[in-house]
Amino acid sequence: MQSILKFAGFCLLIILLIGNVPLVNSLRILGIFPLQGKSHFVMSEALMKGLSAKGHQVDVYGHFPLKKPIPNYTDYSLAGTLPAFANNMTYEFMESFSKRISMKQMLEIVGEPICDLLNLPIFQKLLKDPPKYDLVIVEIFMFNCYLGWGPYLKVPMIAVSTTTLFDWMNEALGNPWNLAAEPSSFSQSIPPMSFLERVDNFLFSNYLTLMYNYHMRVQDKYIEGAFGKGHPNAVDAMREISLVLINYNQALNGIKAFTPGVVPVAGLHITDREDPLPEQVEKFLDESKNGFIYVSFGSMVRLETFPKPVIDAFYAMFKNIAPVRVLMKIARPEELQSGLPSNVIVQTWLPQIKVLKHKNIKGFVTHGGLLGTMEAVYHEVPMVGVPLFGDQHLNLEVYVRKNVAIKLLLENINEKSLTESVKAMLENPIYKKSVRQVSEMMRDTPMKPMDTAAYWIEFVARHGKDALRSPLTDMPWWEASLWDVYTFILSIIFLLLYVIKLILGRFSALFKRNTELKKQRSTKVKRN
Using CB atoms within 10 Å of the CB of residue 351, give its burial: 0 to 12 exposed, 13 to 18 middle, 19+ buried. Answer: middle
Query: Quick one: pLDDT at residue 21?
Result: 45
Q: Which of 367, 373, 280 is nearest to 327 (CA)?
A: 280
pLDDT at residue 190 in the model: 86
Question: Where along the chain do its domains lie?
Answer: 28-271+447-474, 279-443, 475-500
Give yes or no on whether 28-271+447-474 and 279-443 have one common fold: yes
Helix (H) or strand (E) holding 24: none
Q: How many residues are given for the chain?
A: 528
**Closest to 109 in 3D by CA, of 36, 211, 207:** 36
Adjacent-strand bridge partners of 157: 136, 241
- Between 3.90.550.10, 3.30.342.10, 3.40.1190.20, 3.40.50.2000, what CATH number should domain 28-271+447-474 receive? 3.40.50.2000
Cα–Cα distance for residue pair 363/423, rounded to 1 Å: 10
Superfamily for the 279-443 domain: Glycogen Phosphorylase B; (3.40.50.2000)
HSE at residue 109, side-chain half, CA atoms within 13 A, is 12
Q: Residue 244: beta bridge partners?
A: 159, 262
pTM of the model: 0.89
- Identify the pLDDT of residue 25: 81
The C-alpha atoms of residue 30 and residue 27 are separated, in whole angstroms, by: 10
Query: Quick one: pLDDT at residue 527?
Result: 62
**Among the residues of 326-428, which ranges form H helices?**
352-356, 370-378, 392-401, 415-427
pLDDT at position 400 is: 96
Helix or strand or coil: residue 165? coil
pLDDT tens digits for the chain (528 residues)?
A: 455 545 445 444 444 444 444 456 899 999 999 999 988 999 999 999 999 999 999 999 999 999 999 999 999 999 999 998 777 788 888 877 666 678 999 999 999 999 999 999 999 999 999 999 999 999 999 999 999 999 999 999 999 999 999 999 999 999 999 999 999 988 878 889 999 999 999 999 999 999 999 999 999 999 999 999 999 999 999 999 999 999 999 999 889 999 999 999 999 999 877 688 999 999 999 999 999 999 999 988 999 999 999 999 999 999 999 999 999 999 999 999 999 999 999 999 999 999 999 999 999 999 999 999 999 999 999 999 999 988 898 899 999 999 999 999 999 999 999 999 999 999 999 999 999 999 999 999 999 999 999 999 999 999 999 999 999 999 998 999 899 999 999 999 999 999 999 999 888 888 888 888 777 777 766 665
Task: Please give the pLDDT value at position 24.
Answer: 63
The DSSP symbol for 306 reads: S
User: How confident is the model at residue 97, as a pLDDT?
Assistant: 67
Beta-carbon count within 10 A of 155 CB: 23
Q: Judging by beta carbons within 10 Å of its beta carbon (0-12, 13-18, 19+), is residue 201 exposed, middle or buried?
A: buried
The pLDDT of residue 274 is 64
Is 55 in a helix, a strand, or coil? Answer: coil
CA distance 333 to 310: 16
* pLDDT value for 194: 95
Sheet holding 241-246, edge to edge: 73-77, 57-62, 28-33, 135-139, 157-161, 241-246, 262-264
pLDDT of residue 442: 96
Assess contact for 238 and 161: CB atoms under 8 A. no
Q: Cα–Cα distance between 376 and 374 in angstroms, integer?
A: 5
Chain centre distance of CA 381: 21
